[in-house]
Amino acid sequence: DVKVTQSSRYLVKRTGEKVFLECVQDMDHENMFWYRQDPGLGLRLIYFSYDVKMKEKGDIPEGYSVSREKKERFSLILESASTNQTSMYLCASSLIRGADEKLFFGSGTQLSVL
């Protein structure tokens, strides 16, 4: 089975801090995604990547950046955390690009910014 691992389950940070969320997948998937999930809003795409060193903005990229230096690892960076970035962050991967591809999700990171 594909495993998508997120480095932290819970994270508490202070406003203004730089925050790194790490995601690793072990099945050589090309595509990796970062979503945030908020009550009443569902899953929203922040950034995605379909290859090493490639990145594409999603629906809500403001305040975030990403890094994909290796195929298996996709990092989400909050340059200066703000309270409105308190959310559940979910990483996902899929084998190839396309909406018909099954998504595999990590367990999520609940980030609280105080």
- Residues of this chain that interact with another protein (CB under 8 A) are 9, 31, 33, 40-45, 48, 56-59, 88, 90, 92, 98-100, 102-108, 110
User: Which is closer to another protein, CB of 41 or CB of 80?
Assistant: 41
Q: CA nearest 44: which of 6, 90, 75? A: 90
- Shortest CB 50 distance to another protein, Å: 9
> Which is closer to another protein, CB of 37 or CB of 67?
37
Q: Give the number of other CB atoms < 10 A from CB of residue 31.
A: 20
- Taking alpha carbons only, the member of 87, 53, 88 closest to residue 69 is 53
